[in-house]
A = this chain, B = another copy of it.
Amino acid sequence: MAEPANRPDLAAMIVPLGRSLMAAEQPILAAHDLTMWGYVVLSHLRGTPTRTQAALADAIGADRTRIIGVLDELQQRGLIRREPDPTDRRVRLLSLTAAGRRLRDTASAAIQRNEERLLAALPPADRRALLRSLRTLAALPRDRIVGTA
């Protein structure tokens, strides 16, 4: 058993790659006055307006307490709306403003322009398969990956 390792661990390839991609985003985000979490929030709200801050935190894999300062700033800058739900005044309805959407789309375009530079290293068919596969894996629920520890 235990044949010789003929491929690196998935994690060993993906984690450092992720770190590099994050580092590559940093100057782009800074140019748009966005923190990484700020950008993540905008990106998530762009697809799916969210009913509670807790649900948002959960969806983006952050702690509830961590996103509060982020939301404060995004709201102050008029990039998101954060209105008490008339039905239940404890919850804050979260959505993007037009300005928020514009900013996030501009930043995203710049980020993807940079990413295209890397993807150019791949044959077109592999490139497509990579993106398709990553979408599939990224869509898996976290505990499907982690296993019921």
Contact = CB atoms under 8 A, between A and B. Distances in A.
A53 to B, nearest CB: 19
A136 B109 CA distance: 24
A88 to B, nearest CB: 29
Interface stretch (A67-75, A76-84, A92-100, A122-130): A122-130
Interface residues of A, number: 59
Nearest to A119: B10
A108 interface: yes
A148 B57 CA distance: 33
B26 A11 contact: no
A138 B94 CA distance: 37
Contacts of A137: 13, 17, 118, 121-122
A77 to B, nearest CB: 20
B130 A129 contact: yes
B133 A126 contact: yes
A131 interface: yes
Interchain residue pairs A-B with the least CB separation, the first 10: A129-B129, A11-B21, A13-B138, A130-B133, A20-B145, A15-B18, A18-B18, A13-B134, A14-B18, A10-B115
Interface of A: 1-2, 4-5, 7-27, 40, 43, 61, 105-106, 108-109, 111-112, 114-115, 118-119, 121-122, 125-127, 129-138, 140, 142, 145-147, 149
